[in-house]
Amino acid sequence: MLKPIVIATLIAGTLDILSAFVFAGTAGMMPADVLTYVASGPFGEGVHMMGATSSLIGLAVHFAIMACMAAAYVLAASRVPALVRHPVPAGLAYGFILWLIMYWAVKPLRWPDAPLPHTAWGIGNALFSHCLLVGLPIALVAARHFRRRAQ
């Protein structure tokens, strides 16, 4: 089961970080700022003093989180056949669940003073990224893997 997890991590992780770069770029943030923000999650604000290293740490953190997301779905899909039979609605729903967890649990706990998305634009781009660029590709990769194994 490692192969679909790695593939899903690379696809969803790449799509998601590129989306973050684009959406943050519309607000004037550079990709290095996005990655440093990601790195500050587990490593705190001191990571801002590390220069380019903080970007590499942020990228590693991003893909580690994505690997956990992919692994959780692939493990669930190995036990719940409906996730393999219906990957599109399951993947979109999984992306929505990930959005709920990230924006309504993880972010408020880690950055309690940071505002949550409250505009249609902010909510829409977060949902777009989590549902279409994370949940859906992970579900499609998992479905493809388990369907091939069943043949």
pLDDT digits (tens, 9 = 90+) for 98-129: 999 998 999 888 888 888 788 898 899 899 99
What does the pLDDT look like over 3-37, one tens digit per residue? 999 999 999 999 999 999 999 999 899 999 999 99
User: What do you get for the CA distance between the two ends of the chain, in Å?
Assistant: 16
pLDDT at residue 49 in the model:
87
Helix axes 52-79, 31-43, angle to 10 degrees: 70
Helix axes 136-150, 87-101, angle to 10 degrees: 140
Find all residues with CB under 8 Å of 76, minimum gap 6, and list them.
Answer: 83
pTM of the entire structure? 0.92
- CA angle, residues 43, 69, 58, in degrees to nearest 5: 30
- Give just the sign of the alpha carbon dihedral 3, 139, 87, 97: positive
pLDDT at residue 107 in the model:
87
What does the pLDDT look like over 75-94, one tens digit per residue? 999 999 999 999 999 999 99
Cα gap 141→135, rounded to integer Å: 10
Cα gap 91→138, rounded to integer Å: 7
Question: Which span out of 39-43, 49-53, 143-147 was modeled with the highest average pLDDT?
Answer: 143-147
